[in-house]
Structure 1
Amino acid sequence: MPNNPNLYRRTLLSAIGGSIIASAVSSFAYSGESASLKLSRADYLDRLNAIWHGQMIAAMLTVRFEHKVAAAVPINGFSEPMQFAWLDDDWYYEMCALRGFEKYGIDMNIDELGQQWLDNNCGSWGSSAIALENLKRGIPGSMAGHPSNNRYWWTIGPVFSADIYGALAPAMPNVAAAMARKLGKINGHAEAVDGAVFLAGAISLAF
């Protein structure tokens, strides 16, 4: 994974700006039975920064425990100062989806997302790597994560691809969940997509 601060900064700024373009509004409102939320663009940007940085910091702090049977060890901080984040698949899938939203619009369907995966060669591990192989074989995005084509359909691929849907639907958990349900099948199915729905909804509610 390349440690390129300029690449990271450009990618992050593109992601932040692209989210605003995709949302195409300067403020957001959610009306429920007894609550209403309004966000200025500045407030939205602040929370969006928290979403991107939060997942990056969490992944970078815990990557040393990945693929280990047990990891009951306190984490008190980074072992060395970090000035930038590396490029990692845990957030690259979301940046790929963001490019798709910019190209196809906020109603992007799963086959269009599949084409974006092909355009960006997106899919490097587990169910996502198999999804990319499927796409290259001509299997559409709607079937790339299906159990009949993807033996890792039940794993966490859709979950760590779902933050973007909550970010694009602030305080609208049903909208975020619907996007995760529709697009999460690119690299998973059934329970795996349920996890994506949960995470997208939780991030949306955090606004």
Structure 2
Amino acid sequence: MHPITCSPTVGRSAPHKPVKSGAPASVTLSKTAIQDKIKGGWAGQVIGCTFGGPTEFRFTGTMINAYQPIPWYDGYIKKTMTDIPGLYDDLYMDLTFVDIFEKKGLDAPISEHANAYANAEYMLWHANQAGRYNLLNGMKAPESGHWLNNPHADDIDFQIEADFSGLMAPGMPNTAVKIGDPIGHIMNYGDGWYGGAYVGAMYSLAFVSNDVNYIVKEALKTIPTQSTFYQCIADVIKWHDQFPNDWKRTWFEIERKWSDEVGCPDGVFHSFNIDAKINSAYIVLGLLYGGGDFTKTMEISTRAGQDSDCNPASAGGILGTMLGYGHIPAYWKQGLKEAEDIDFKYTTMSLNDVYALSMKHALQVVERNGGKINGEQVTIALQTPKAVRLEQAFTGHYPVLARGINKEIDGEYSFDFEGIGFVLKGEAKPKTRSSWDYKSDFAFNAELYIDDKKIEKAKLPVDFTHRRHELFWRYQLPKGKHTVRIKVLNADSNHIVRMGELIVYSDQPVPSKLR
């Protein structure tokens, strides 16, 4: 490892050099230095999320070229937090879990975290909403995040929410991963979980190294080499070595090899890509090519596109932890102090609150894991990263067809397909308006039949926060022709069930002359 030792009298994280060999089993930091790094981690997230907010998913499958300005000015953070509070899902999702650790203790059962998240007022999408629906309808974690129950299992959701785990486990990447494991499986599985595990490990290592290359590579040791997530990030590291001065060349290599979406129904056969591994690749792209420079890191991780607020938020948080709050350039902190007492929407916590809570939790985790606190000095028992268990979602499943249905279900609807699985997109909604932010207690009751066998009876709520993200899906069916029939049991004059796109999976990809 590349540990550092900070004097207990240091007022902020000082520049430091990594120890090259014979690294000690522990490192001593001052409480002041740890607090500065925790503040840097949370502040970096806010900066990155604010900076990338206007570009989020506006550039899918393309980079944001340098001629296009991205605004930044004094007062921008406060204005965004006040006017567009929903942008900060990266933060208020994190704070849901921080709040449970504070109220229920570090040993809070996963049910506490799951219930808090499922019943929160905020709107959710993708793996988060699919997981929430599962919980609200009687399923428990980790089944709620498993890919057979959640078509978004590989999506980015836990990756953008895992910051808390690394910030409360300084220098202890395995502990960071362990803290995040049950929470990450509320809504994700496989690569979706690995994204959060990897980000948490990078935060943890950023406390004890000032070498971004080391942080990126060492944290990857927590991920099984057999996984597609590991292989994707290892490729980014390899391409950075090959093209050290050309981030755009590496971006093109990422697109060439890793841009095909398999799981998320909104991304299959579309340029939109919320998959954890490719967005994590953009985080790593920013960190490696930024080389510890905050501005370069922000620019590159944002201009890579796709989830371009979450990716610079993660990159900014990791780099902010490494540098410490005191060493984030003043340009990026302009207007930050006036926003640090604003409670994030859906919470009763501000940045200043979470700075203190994360410090409190970090000291508790240090003592629980072989470390010691002696006055102002904190001795951390360092950990060598170890790979977690192998999980892979959608194995043997290849999307081969997307067909628009775009009809209302008038009592009953049937369709045929040939393959091993399907996803039927759509929604239950009010008849005369959008379902966005719609509130109602009404839910359709619907049944799914496959080959004349009743497979499932499901509720289809019209309320947006309770909705089922997709209407129906099934994987791992016998290969061949199948007939699907959907029956709506309680028609309602004020609401409809609208079908969208049908996605079909087979056990082999469609043959192509380009392969």
Q: Give the shorter-chain TM-score range.
A: 0.7 to 0.9
Cα distance change, pair 181–126 in 1 and its aligned pair in 2 (3 A): same
Cα distance change, pair 161–83 in 1 and its aligned pair in 2 (3 A): closer
Q: Which residue of 2 aligns with 1:150?
A: 150
Q: Which has the higher mean CA deviation after the structures are superposed, 50-59 or 79-88?
A: 79-88
Higher helix content, 1 or 2:
1
Quick check: 2:166–2:202 contact (8 Å CA) kept in 1?
A: yes
One-letter amino acid of the structure 2 residue matched with residue 73 of structure 1: N
Greater Rg by CA: 2
Number of residues of Structure 1 aligned to a counterpart in Structure 2:
176
SS in 2 for 1:153: coil
One-letter amino acid of the structure 1 residue matched with residue 157 of structure 2: G
One-letter amino acid of the structure 2 residue matched with residue 78 of structure 1: P
Q: Structure 1 regions of 5+ residues with no counterpart? A: 1-31
1: CA distance between counterparts of 2:153 and 2:139?
Answer: 15
Q: Which residue of 2 aligns with 1:180?
A: 180
Q: Which has the higher mean CA deviation after the structures are superposed, 57-66 or 192-201?
A: 57-66
Give the Å deviation of 1:160.
0.5
1: CA distance between counterparts of 2:170 and 2:64?
Answer: 34
Q: Which residue of 2 aligns with 1:57?
A: 47
Q: Which residue of 2 aligns with 1:14?
A: none
**CA distances 1:144-169 after superposition (whole Å, capped 9, x unpaired):** 21112211111101100110000010
Q: Does 1:44 align with 2:34?
A: yes
TM-score scaled to structure 2, two decimals?
0.32
Cα distance change, pair 114–94 in 1 and its aligned pair in 2 (3 A): same
Q: Percent identity?
A: 26
Q: Which residue of 2 aligns with 1:134?
A: 134
Quick check: 2:162–2:197 contact (8 Å CA) kept in 1?
A: yes
1: CA distance between counterparts of 2:41 and 2:72?
Answer: 23
Cα distance change, pair 141–77 in 1 and its aligned pair in 2 (3 A): same
Quick check: 1:180–1:197 contact (8 Å CA) kept in 2?
A: yes
Higher strand content, 1 or 2:
2
Q: Which residue of 1 aligns with 2:71?
A: 78
Quick check: 2:127–2:155 contact (8 Å CA) kept in 1?
A: yes
Quick check: 1:99–1:116 contact (8 Å CA) kept in 2?
A: no
1:1-207 matches, cutoff 5 A: 34-67=24-57, 68-69=59-60, 70-74=62-66, 78-81=71-74, 82-84=76-78, 86=81, 87=85, 88-121=88-121, 124-207=124-207
Q: What is the RMSD computed on CA atoms of the aligned residues?
A: 2.2
Give the Å deviation of 1:65.
2.5
Give the Å deviation of 1:141.
3.0
**CA distances 1:112-154 after superposition (whole Å, capped 9, x unpaired):** 2101213434551211122122222122232221112211111
Give the Å deviation of 1:64.
2.5
**CA distances 1:22-60 after superposition (whole Å, capped 9, x unpaired):** xxxxxxxxxx95252223332222111111111111122
Quick check: 1:123–1:132 contact (8 Å CA) kept in 2?
A: no
